[in-house]
Structures are given as C-alpha cells and as structure tokens.
Amino acid sequence: MQNALKRLLNQRVSTIGLEIGTSMIKVVELRPGSPPALVRSVSAPTPPGSVKEGALVEPQLVAQEIRNLLTAQHIKARFVVTALPNQSAITRNISVPRVDRKDLDGAVRWEAERYIPYPIDEVVLDYDLLDEPAGLPQDSPIEIVIAAAPQEVIARQVEAIRLAGLEPLIIDLKPFAALRAVYAAQKSPEPHLTSESDVAVILEIGASGTSITLVRGQRVLMTRNITVSADDFTVAIQRGYNLSFAEAEEVKTRYATVSSQTESEEDLLNFDADRERYATARLYELTRPVLSDLINEVRRSLEFYRVQSGEVILSRMLITGGGAKLRGLPGALSDALGMKVELAHPLSALSVDPNHPDTELANQLGEALAVPIGLALRGMDRLD
C-alpha cells in the first residue's frame, strides 16, 4: 500500500504555467523531454479593472478570459501552476536556531512574524531550507527562505482558476518562477549562474512590478520587490504625447530606447510616417526619469545586500520579463551599474518547433515568458 501511494504521488501530471498579470494573461504548456518542448504559448489581455496593484479583484472576469483562451487554443490540461503578484508576496532569508525537525515550523513562524507586514494569522506562510541541518556545526543557525502572502489574495486567485474549470496544483512566486526559467536556459545539467564566490543578479521587470533576486550558484541570497515597472515607461510616453495607454504601449514597443538620443542606423533604414513624430531623442527624454528611478532602486537593493553581507563580487545581471524588451536597456543598466548585463532568453531552455503556430508569438514575447515558462517547468517536476 505504501509503495502504491508513493508511485501515485510521484506521477507526472499534465500541467500548464499560468501567469495572471495586470495587463496580460499568459499560458505556457510544455511536453517533458530533454530539453522540454513548447506545446503552447498563448496570451490574452487581462480584463480591464480585474487586477489592481497586482491583486485579483474580479475573479469571475479573469476566469472567463482564461476559459475563453484555453478553449480557443484547444488546451486540455486541467492542472495549473500559477504565481502570486509581487506586490502581495513577501520573501526573505532568515536564520532560526537549530531545532528538531518537529519544532521547525513553530520556530520559523515565530521568527517570520518579525518580517511580515500582515497579521501572522491572516497569511499563508511557507519556507524552504537553504542548508541541511545535518551538515552544519552543532550551534549554527539554520538559514531559511520564507514566503508569505495574505490568505485573501491567494483565495481570489484560486477562485478564478477554479471558476475557469481548472485545478491549482502549485502556487509559486514570480521571482522564483523567473529564476527557474533562467537556470534552465543556462543549458547545463547542473546550471550555475556564478562561481561559489560571485553573485548574479536576476531582474524580472513586469508590467506592474519588478523583482530583484541575488543568487550565488543555485543559492538564493535575497529577493526584493521594486516599485518601478514596465508600465511606468509607458505612462511617461502617454503623458508626453497625450496618448491612450494602449497607444503609448505601441509607441514604446516600436520606437522607444533608453540608451541613446540619436537615431540608430536600423531606425533610419526602417523609417515610417510616425517615426518623425515619435523621435528617438524625444522618447529618450521622456523615459530617462523612469530609467533613473529603476537604476536607483536597483542600486539601493544591491547596497542593502552589501551592508548585510559585506563585500561581494557582482558578476553579472540577467534581465527578463516584459519590460526587459525595452530597447537599449541592457546597455543602459550596464553603464550605470558597472557590470555585465544581458537578456535572459528563457526560450533557449526549450525545444521550439519553428513550424509550430505558437512559435512566432513566443518569439515576440521572448523575455515576457520567463514567469509562465518557469511555472510550467515546475509543473513537470514530480509531486512530493
């Protein structure tokens, strides 16, 4: 009986990665393999007003949109791995005294209460050990990464998923999902972003929020949320040209750059009627204050870690999320922060059929798929 139960729990189930964002709902379906194969990559606009400050406020509207999207794309999977919005989730590395396993839950809960800005009885709290207690000296504390979110936020997300006829299998956090996709994209059996002495920075720039994660090898050192987001660049263009948000988003995607005030050779060769109005120099001036805010927030986060941990070597930064697609961003961040900055390219973790109908869309979204790809990858793991 015990062996039969173990086999049942270790079965792989067909799951999809589902990201419910402020502006877009994204779904990724993968097929197990080495590397995993992209089966579906689809998206649809999030119903207006249904998600505010990253949190679901209209589960029924979101559920209907999810149902329509899956039906139109003939996606049959019913188990879902999803992620909570950055604005509602709290993550932190903490240390607790070395205790017996049976007492660990209580010790973590007591220590975590100091760092969670919500009543402890109103959150869902989870944690993961960064060190195995058996391998530590007898008096050494145990380092743990905690994650917490209000019960109401989780309940609304679960409600939307179930109203769509799906079953939430795992609820993850966006920074960890993005990190999983980045690790997979390193194309190594045991991927390491850095050496054991260097620290890498993962910057996931979403529509309504940004997260910064510091890692050494495969060890998460710090995760923080940053209020500057991709939408802030759009709003700056919207105000500067008196456009609708949708129009400003289109202008940002087609013309904006944050690295130069001059037209590139590519821009000159691809001239169109709107380029004279939406000149690179003007867009640069409009978006430069937002870029400055983003750089300052990243600097504060890095300095916070340095103060906590002493001198560290920051080897490189990988940027992902929809906001990473802004032209010139890697170079602008590299110049300002003095480190190598690259796009993460989460699709490189997958086998992608060039003839697949979703391939063109997947290539267009690119870095914006890091979170749903990371969620789908987790769904392929054996349940434990």
CA distance 207 to 223: 18
Q: Which CATH number is associated with domain 90-148?
A: 3.30.1490.300
pLDDT (0 to 100) of residue 155: 94
Please answer whether residues 384 and 40 qualify as being in contact, where contact means their C-beta atoms are separated by less than 8 angstroms. Answer: no
Which tokens in the block code for residue 184?
A: 């997979």
Residue 187, by phi and psi: left (phi above 0), alpha (psi -120 to 50) or beta?
A: left
Give yes or no on whether 2-88+154-191+346-380 and 230-340 have one common fold. Answer: yes
Spatial neighbors of 257 by CB under 8 A, at least 6 apart, are 264, 280, 283, 284, 326, 327, 328
Q: What is the CATH superfamily name and number for domain 230-340?
A: ATPase, nucleotide binding domain (3.30.420.40)
In percent, the amount of the chain with pLDDT more than 70 equals 85
What single DSSP character describes residue 54?
A: T
pLDDT (0 to 100) of residue 241: 94
pLDDT (0 to 100) of residue 380: 83
Strands 313-320 and 51-52: unpaired
* 3-state secondary structure at position 48: coil
CA distance 231 to 207: 5
- pLDDT averaged over the chain? 84
Q: How is the chain split into domains, by residue range?
A: 2-88+154-191+346-380, 90-148, 230-340
First-residue to last-residue Cα distance in the chain? 17
pLDDT (0 to 100) of residue 64: 96
pLDDT (0 to 100) of residue 4: 43
> Rounded to an integer, what is the distance from CA 99 to the centroid of its chain?
33
pLDDT in tens, 195-232: 556 889 999 999 888 999 999 887 889 999 998 999 99
CA distance 18 to 348: 19
CA distance 208 to 188: 32
Name the fold adopted by 2-88+154-191+346-380: Nucleotidyltransferase; domain 5 (3.30.420)
DSSP string, 83-136: EE-GGG-EEEEEEE----HHHHHHHHHHHHTTT-SS-GGGEEEEEEESS-GGGS
Tens-level pLDDT at each residue, the chain (384 residues): 445 434 444 455 668 999 998 889 999 998 888 888 888 888 899 999 898 877 889 999 999 999 999 999 888 888 999 999 888 888 998 888 887 777 888 888 988 888 888 888 999 999 988 877 776 777 788 888 999 999 999 999 999 999 999 999 999 999 999 999 988 887 644 445 655 568 899 999 998 889 999 998 878 899 999 989 999 999 999 999 999 999 999 999 888 888 765 555 455 455 565 667 888 889 999 999 999 999 999 999 999 888 888 777 788 899 999 899 899 999 999 999 999 999 988 888 888 766 666 666 666 677 888 999 999 999 887 544
pLDDT (0 to 100) of residue 209: 87
pLDDT in tens, 106-126: 888 988 888 888 888 999 999
> Rounded to an integer, what is the distance from CA 198 to the centroid of its chain?
22
Closest CA to 156 of 46, 17, 60: 60
CA distance 56 to 58: 6
* 3-state secondary structure at position 215: strand
Strand partners, 215: 200, 220
